[in-house]
Amino acid sequence: MSIDATLSCIMLIDDDPDDNFLHQLVIHDTGLSPEILVAESGEKALNYFSGKPGRNFLKPDIIFLDINMPGMNGFDFLERYKALPSELRSGTKIVMLSTSSLSKDQQKASSILDHVYYRTKPLTEQILEEVVLAS
């Protein structure tokens, strides 16, 4: 499958190296060819945003965020992420990926931050296409 869109950067936030590997393969298979940033925890992802963004800073077009991670879970990350300056967040789509399909998790994500997508793992080309093409 090839998606007709231009993305400069996708960030994966997940503590599972196997999921990160699989999700990178899915992204590459779509032909999008963006830079892929991988953070193994919410803390590492926040450190990326909190660092002094310079000329080499890539603002993610999409963040795929795992919910169940040790330490800072996906909901905790969202709370801290929404406190970042708007110029670091604007235009970024967030997709919470989880093995859970509980509606309470979906509602909780939406109550923290508007326009959060919620999908069950694993990331597929169809999910990626839906998110990329969503306005």
pTM comes to 0.90
Q: Is there a domain that residue 2 lies in?
A: no
Q: What is the pLDDT of residues 47-70, one digit of tens each?
A: 999 876 666 788 999 999 999 999
Full residue range of the structural domain in which residue 21 is found: 9-133
Q: Which residues contact 116 (CB under 8 A, 6 or more apart)?
A: 78, 94, 95, 96, 109, 110
CATH of the domain at 79: 3.40.50.2300
Examine residue 3 and state whether it is found in any structural domain, yes or no: no
pLDDT confidence of 3, banded at 50, 70, 90? low
Number of domains in the chain: 1
Tell me the pLDDT tens digit for each residue of 83-111: 999 888 999 999 999 887 667 777 777 77
Cis peptide upstream of residue 122 (ω within 30 degrees of 0): yes
